[in-house]
Amino acid sequence: MSTKRIQGGLYYDAERREMERRDREMIPKKLVIAMAALALSALALATVQVVFKLPKSGVPQAAAVIAERSVILVADGKSLVVTDPDGTLVTRQDNGAFISVVVEGLNRARKVSRVEGNPPVTISRLANGRLTLLDPASGWHVELTSFGAGNTAYWNWILPS
């Protein structure tokens, strides 16, 4: 069965012209050129950085560790249990809040690195005020202060100032 119309007329011609215009410019040519220019610019910037061995920008300054604690984090998406490596309870929360989100990222990194079990992680407070979490088993590292003061406050349950 053919879908070709055999009727002409004012309505059919107007519909045909509208469809031709729509089919011709679904994505404007200028937008395609701009997207290609953006991609090529990003590639050029990365190439210049690698070729000329330029220093990385936006990297936090190194600082001395002023406090450190190894803990085992267990979260099920809602509740949270934090213990010392010897099994001493540090805190138990019915609402693990931001810490549970970080534990999900930690579990993903461990799965990718094929880490078995739940080894301890190290939480460190640095002299410049930053708070970091390092998982020695997978090499995963996260700057906890990057998520704002409100989320960083949850970690003060574990590593008080």
Tokens of 145: 């202060």
The region, left, alpha or beta by phi > 0 then psi within -120 to 50, assigned to residue 29 is alpha
Confidence at residue 76, expressed as pLDDT on a 0 to 100 scale: 84
Mean pLDDT of all residues in the chain?
A: 86
Q: What average pLDDT does range 42-53 have in this prediction? A: 95
Q: List C-alpha distances in Å: 137 to 99, 119, 141.
A: 19, 7, 11
Q: Is the pLDDT of residue 50 over 90?
A: yes
Nearest residue to 140 via CA among 124, 122, 155: 122
Q: What average pLDDT does range 129-138 have in this prediction? A: 94
Give me the sign of the Cα torsion angle 124, 126, 132, 136: negative
pTM of the model: 0.66
Least confident piece of the model among 5-19, 95-109, 134-148:
5-19
Task: List phi, psi (to 5°) of 70.
Answer: -95, 130
Confidence at residue 6, expressed as pLDDT on a 0 to 100 scale: 57
Cβ atoms of residues 71 and 120 within 8 Å: yes
Burial of 123 (0-12, 13-18, 19+ CB in 10 A): buried
Q: How far apart are CA 159 and CA 69, in angstroms?
A: 7
Q: How far apart are CA 18 and CA 141, in angstroms?
A: 55
Confidence at residue 79, expressed as pLDDT on a 0 to 100 scale: 87
Numbers of helices and strands, H then E, in the chain: 4, 6
C-alpha dihedral over 50, 52, 57, 63, to 10 degrees? 100
Q: What average pLDDT does range 117-132 have in this prediction? A: 93
Tokens of 71: 């803990």
